[in-house]
Structures are given as C-alpha cells and as structure tokens.
Amino acid sequence: EQSGVDVRVARIFNTFGPRMNPSDGRVVSNFIVQALQGHDMTIYGDGSATRSFQYVDDLVRGLMALMEGSYDMPVNLGNPEEYSIGQFAKLIHGITHSNSSIKNLPATADDPRQRKPDITVARNNIGWEPRVHVEDGLQHTIRYFQQELRENGEIASTGPGQFAAVTKRNDE
C-alpha cells in the first residue's frame, strides 16, 4: 500500500494480439504485415537473438490475477517459451503461406540478445501462467491483420529508428 492506495507492479513482456497497431514497428506486427503483403520479412542481425511472445488474453488474465490477489511485489507477466527471431519469422511465414523472402539486415547496436521472462513468482504467488500457445495467438492476430488489409489497403511496416503513425479509428 502506498499513500493509502493498493499498488501492484507487473513487468509486461512482449505481448501481441488483434487490434495492435499494424505499423507499430514491433517484430510481430512487422513480420505479419510483411508476410501478408508479400514484402521481404526483415530480420535485424543474424536471427539468433531470442524473444518470448505472449498473447494478449494471457496478459489480461495475469493482470486480473495480480490485481485481485494480495501479492504486492513485482511480477513478470510473459511467456517463457523462447523463439529465435529467425525461427519466429519462419513460423509466421509458414502460417501465412507467404511468398515473401526472409532478409537479414544489419543488427541494431542496442538490441538485446535474449528476452525471456522468469514467471516463477507469477506461478507461485498469483497462480498464473500463459495458456494460449503462440501459434494459436498468431492465427487470431493474422486474421485480424488480413481484415485490416482488406479494409485499409497496404500497410507500411517500420524498422529501427522509425516511428509509426498512430491513427484513431472511427469506431473509437
């Protein structure tokens, strides 16, 4: 409790799902948009750096469990299943049945080699762990991006040092 307010701290790891900005520059949205449009799927570096990805439904469940529980120390919310960026590009390439090429570009200087959450605290103290398999979450997310492309036409992906334009949808 801080200043009479119940406080919880979640460290959120890479999260993806429908309604994410298709031009946000993150690896999931970039790979999906590039694959669906038949553009080169761009990997920065040799593809051996690893990341972990969680579907948005798992994050929401984790936040709810944290907020509704009594545990008040920091908790990692993420999926400990690790993919190399190269593996992840091939996974999305396969799911989308894309004719894109996978292209390696120079690595960015500040890109970490590994991002993998230790969710032991979340398992032991709030009874949480991810349930949605990454491939299942990707299926949902890819369907969303396919719909976005049908409705809005071409989508530009962004890379390191570029910023995405965030636009407000009419229904929001």
**Which tops the pLDDT comparison, 170 or 10?**
10
Q: What is the pLDDT of residue 160?
A: 52
Q: What is the pLDDT of residues 32-44, one digit of tens each?
A: 999 999 999 999 9
Distances (CA, A) of 24 to 28, 30, 62, 94, 172: 9, 8, 23, 22, 18
pTM recorded for the entire structure? 0.84
Average pLDDT over residues 18-31: 89
Q: What pLDDT is recorded for position 140?
A: 96
Q: Tell me which H or E stretch contains 135.
A: helix 134-152
104: Cα separation from own chain's centroid: 20
Q: 4: exposed, middle or buried (C-beta count within 10 Å: 0-12, 13-18, 19+)?
A: exposed
CB contact at 8 A, 12 and 78: yes
pLDDT confidence band for 158 (50 / 70 / 90): low
Residue type, 45: G
Pick the closest to residue 142 from 5, 2, 22 (CA basis). Answer: 22
The pLDDT score that the predictor gives to residue 114 is: 73
122, burial (CB in 10 Å: exposed 0-12, middle 13-18, buried 19+): buried
What is the pLDDT of the chain when averaged over all its residues? 88
Structure tokens at 54: 């969680």
| Cα separation, 79 vs 131, whole angstroms | 9
Give the pLDDT of residue 3. 77
